[in-house]
Amino acid sequence: MEYDVIIIGSGLGGLQCGYMLAKKGFKVCVLEKNYQIGGCLQSFRRNGYTFDTGFHHVGSLGKGESLYWLLDQFNLMHLPWHQLDSDAFDEVFLDGKSYCLANGYEPFVEKLSEYFPHQHSNIKAYTHFLKQTNENLFQGLKHDLASVFQQDELIEKSAYQFLQQTIDDDCLRAVLSGTSLKMELNAATLPLYIFAQINGSYIPSAWRLKGGGYKIAESLKTDILAMGGEVHVHTPVTNMEVTDKQITKIYTDDGECWNAQCVISDIHPASTLKLLNKEAVRKSFRSRISSLDNSFGIFTANIKLKDNTVPYLNRNLYIHQNADMWNPSQKGVHSAFVNFSVPESGNTTNKVDILTKMQWDEVSKWVGTAPNHRGQEYEEMKQRKCEELLDLVSLRLPELKNNIETIYTSTPLTYSDYIDTENGSAYGVRKDCNQLYHTILLTVTPVHNLFFTGQNINFHGIFGVSITTLQTCWMVEKFLKKDY
């Protein structure tokens, strides 16, 4: 069958592209290699309970705010979003002391100034910068999509240097960095635009999704099908035939041939190029993509608690002990993010997810083994990691350990196997402020009818991927209408 657009991968970016283009009247088809759609939005069920894999919270989802505007483009505001406490949406527990962050730019400044009164003017300057950055980005999205990445001063700056120059109190710098397990804090490479966009997006408001991130994927799929599109699972693409810089045929592992005017890849760019014949792109481009570094991965403990034992905490909790937060290669468990599932009723929760960073080299020796068949050594490694994580979390939540019913653990290798992220990366390709135009990728490619989308391109996270989706769809529509 002939399609206008075939989309490889059903992560958030792939499904959003499918939705947006189907809404515009194009015939779209999404091909997913796994049995479940959603990529990092996937959930899994154990003993009747649903656990999230990569989605936990978002910011700026209040009416009139930037993510509300974005998700409304994809008909996602009908989902059961749940707002976190505005007077303490984030809590950073640092070396035995708690620091809470408040929603709203002025309350954010005043709340932090209660802990650091001598830093009031610096906190105000820091907050003003984040506010200005996000407002400029929001206006660019609504009025001039092409201008989003034209602020050279912003995108070429180092996040670490900005923080050092703006805040001259070590503890305050640690607090402002301490909510950032939602990105890779790397003093040598992290661009300021990523740090500012992500941290700034949570100041207006912060939200969880009751029931799990898979509801986002299911909503997009339902709408794609209703608009005449197709979504096929367990249909891995094995290769794409390129003639005169255009993909002419797409083959899946069942031997079927698929045809489309253009192709969008929501999988890692390096994985995408492996599907093309060697002559399809220049050796220099292939070498550049294959040499890109990937951000670190995540170790997760998904915990089922005993009923009616642990109070629900309506905020994000970040716990740090002796943490060198800006050193991505620091070994051991020194930081954790704790996410409480929104209860169906009552004031206690029956599920928490606890996350900490984990390097690929900690699991690389088991590459090639199948899930649940990795051997005793792997299971023992996960058990040790989990015990370290629980010991750290107990510094702030001593009641947790004695009320655990079941624990399910995952590593970057799990992400690599089930979600097909390169090296189990949590945040995609590592963007480097020192060579940003080498590590930031365009949605267009040297193959004229092949386009990129997803977390590896510009931004990661729900907000970032949604931005890239708009850029990708804009370019695809121009191509299909021959306005290219």
Task: With respect to residue 273, please indicate whether it lies within any of the assigned structural domains.
Answer: yes
Write out the H or E segment, with its range, that includes residue 258: strand 257-265
pLDDT band at 483 (very low <50, low <70, confident <90, very high): low
Q: Is 162 helix (H, G, I), strand (E, B) or coil?
A: helix
Do 308 and 279 have their domain in common? no
Please state the domain count of the chain: 3
**70-93 residues labelled b (16+ CB within 10 A) or e (exposed):** bbebbebeebebeebebebbbbbb
Q: Supply the range of the domain harboring residue 136.
A: 83-89+102-209
* pLDDT at 245 > cutoff 70: yes
Phi, psi of 351 (to 5 degrees): -145, 140
Amino acid symbol at 148: V
Are 353 and 270 part of one and the same domain?
A: no
Q: Are residues 196 and 223 in the same domain?
A: no
- Would 78 be classed as within a structural domain? no
Residues 160 and 177 reside in one and the same domain: yes
Read off the tokens for 482.
Answer: 């021959």
Q: What is the pTM of this model?
A: 0.93
State residue 155's pLDDT score: 65
One domain, residues 199 and 128: yes
pLDDT-based confidence at residue 39 (cuts at 50, 70, 90): confident
Residue with tokens 């989902």: 79
Strands 257-265 and 2-8: parallel
Residue 13 covered by a domain: yes
In this structure, the answer to whether residues 405 and 301 fall within a common structural domain is yes
A 10 A CB-CB count for 375 gives: 10
Q: Is residue 130 part of a domain?
A: yes
What distance in Å separates the CA atoms of residue 229 and residue 6, rounded to the nearest whole number? 10
Is residue 66 over pLDDT 60?
Answer: yes
Using alpha carbons, select from 478, 449, 469 the residue that is nearest to residue 17: 469
Whether 139 and 176 share a structural domain? yes
For residues 303 and 334, state if they share a domain: yes
Which band of pLDDT confidence, cut at 50, 70 and 90, is reported for residue 227? very high
Measured distance CA(320)–CA(271) in Å, rounded: 35
Residue 187 falls within a domain, yes or no?
yes
pLDDT digits (tens, 9 = 90+) for 438-453: 888 889 999 999 999 9
Neighbours of 482 (CB within 10 A): 6
In a domain, 276, yes or no: yes
Q: Is residue 328 part of a domain?
A: yes
AA identity, residue 27:
K
Q: What is the pLDDT of residue 150?
A: 53
Task: Spell out the alpha helix ranges (H) of 144-231.
Answer: 152-155, 159-166, 170-177, 192-201, 214-226
Sole residue written with tokens 């995108």 = 155
Return the percentage of the chain with pLDDT > 70, whole number.
Answer: 96
Q: What is the CATH number of the domain that holds 40?
A: 3.50.50.60
> Does 210 score more than 70 pLDDT?
yes
Q: Determine the Cα–Cα distance for residues 264 and 269; give it in Å rounded to an integer.
A: 11
Cα–Cα distance, 116 to 221 (Å, whole number): 47
What φ, ψ does residue 310 adopt, rounded to 5°?
A: -110, 120
Q: Is residue 169 part of a domain?
A: yes
